[in-house]
Amino acid sequence: MVNFIKTDTLKQKPTDESKLGFGRIFTDYMFTMRYSPEEGWHDAVVEPYHAFEMDPAAMVLHYGQTIFEGLKCYRREDGGLQLFRPRDNFARMNISAERLSIPQFDADLALEGLLKLLDVERDWVPHQKDTSLYIRPFIIATDPYVGVRASNSYIFCIILSPVGAYYAHGLSPVGIYVEDNYVRAVRGGFGFAKTAGNYAASLKAGEEAKKKGFDQVLWLDGVDRKYVEEVGSMNMMFVVDGVLKTPALNGSILAGITRDSILKLAEKDGIKTSEERIAIADIFAAADEGKLDEAFGTGTAAVVSPVGELCWEGRKITVSSGEIGPITAKMYNQLTDIQWGRAEDPFGWIMKL
Ligand SMILES: *Cc1c(COP(=O)(O)O)cnc(C)c1O
């Protein structure tokens, strides 16, 4: 059961949807539920958006026991709303929870909470093309305790943020620095979990890449420093000699829902796909032979991020002549058409609200 606490003081909704940006504006309500060993997950409620009151000793602040998800609510041209594979996000959140010793939650209850929140906030879903309402579920550990163990108490929360097109000037290729010093995650660690520590670990490399003039970092594996893992916080795909290749899920990368969706869309289109271990040297060799057709990142926020340039150990290569490749564009268009309800969904991915 999800309760509702109403407020009469509502925020001013953004009037210019072309200036939404990403993740800066939050809506009037949020969903929360709490966990204690005695009661399990309880007190599920849609309530006015407000600051948490937290003990300075709250365990999340010291030991990073926290996980999150990211998905979007889309407005169709007929004005109706829809979600894309929301059950997959909550299933993945429970996988992250398991790795971080956070108690499992009932995914049906979380989805019920999200639907109730969206029902109250439906007017916050923007209308302009490529805009959406970003949904951020997360869990934090709240025991006031300084000492390393799993917390006994937690808060599960969902907040909403109206967001603009990820690329203000349309889809445009980015320059990528292949990181050979820092690593993001290793097998046996928690690279497959959506947890704060992975992003904290990535900041320094991102800053250094920016100073060198690149937009994002491509991570190599933490053991051999040879194999492609991810790009920024997106999964990585290459088109080599007509085959769409992506690193296999190996425990140190995130199992992206966009990654999975694009693999399925490509297969349906008769494009050959392969999940495998990809050596960065082989990608540069393919570029030398003229066989590196395209490269792009995939994730919910940007959907698809074309790569125009790769730099590794001082060598720079240009991909797709710095343009958006045909498979990249096709995957972007097909996926966003399904997400925004402009095309049929043959996969059962869409949940209409
Ligand atoms: C969220 C995320 C992705 C993309 O996952 P989607 O489900 O496609 O949004 C990829 N890599 C990392 C590290 C992520 O955090």
Atom of ligand 1 nearest to the CA of 257: 7
Q: How far is the CA of 144 from the centre of ligand 1 (A)?
A: 31
Q: How far is the CA of 291 from the centre of ligand 1 (A)?
A: 27
- Helix, strand, coil fractions of the chain, as percent rounded to 5: 25, 30, 40
* Mean of all residue pLDDT scores within the chain: 96
First-to-last CA distance in the chain?
A: 19
pLDDT given at position 167: 72
The answer to whether the CB of 258 is under 6 A from ligand 1 is yes
Atom of ligand 1 nearest to the CA of 89: 7
Atom of ligand 1 nearest to the CA of 298: 8
Q: What DSSP string runs through 276-309?
A: E--BHHHHHHHHHTT-EEEEEEEETTTEEEEEEE
On the 0-12 / 13-18 / 19+ scale of CB atoms within 10 A, 259 is buried
DSSP, res 13: P
Tens of pLDDT, residues 127-144: 999 999 999 999 999 999
Atom of ligand 1 nearest to the CA of 259: 8
The whole-model pTM stands at 0.97
Cα–Cα distance measured from residue 70 to residue 97, given in angstroms and rounded to the nearest whole number: 15
pLDDT given at position 188: 93
Tens of pLDDT, residues 209-251: 999 999 999 999 999 999 999 998 999 999 999 999 999 999 9
pLDDT given at position 166: 77
The answer to whether the CB of 233 is under 6 A from ligand 1 is yes
Alpha-carbon torsion 352, 86, 8, 125, what sign? Answer: negative
Q: How many CB atoms lie within 10 A of CB 353?
A: 15
The answer to whether the CB of 297 is under 6 A from ligand 1 is no
Cα–Cα distance measured from residue 155 to residue 50, given in angstroms and rounded to the nearest whole number: 14
Atom of ligand 1 nearest to the CA of 235: 10
**Nearest Cα residue to 327 out of 353, 301, 300, 294:** 294
Chain Cα centroid distance, residue 345: 21
Atom of ligand 1 nearest to the CA of 301: 9
pLDDT given at position 168: 66
Q: How far is the CA of 254 from the centre of ligand 1 (A)?
A: 6
Question: Which residue numbers in the chain have pLDDT < 70?
Answer: 168-169
Q: How far is the CA of 248 from the centre of ligand 1 (A)?
A: 14
pLDDT given at position 232: 87
Whose Cα sits closest to atom 15 in ligand 1? 233
Q: How far is the CA of 89 from the centre of ligand 1 (A)?
A: 10
The answer to whether the CB of 299 is under 6 A from ligand 1 is yes
Q: How many CB atoms lie within 10 A of CB 319?
A: 24
Q: How far is the CA of 136 from the centre of ligand 1 (A)?
A: 13
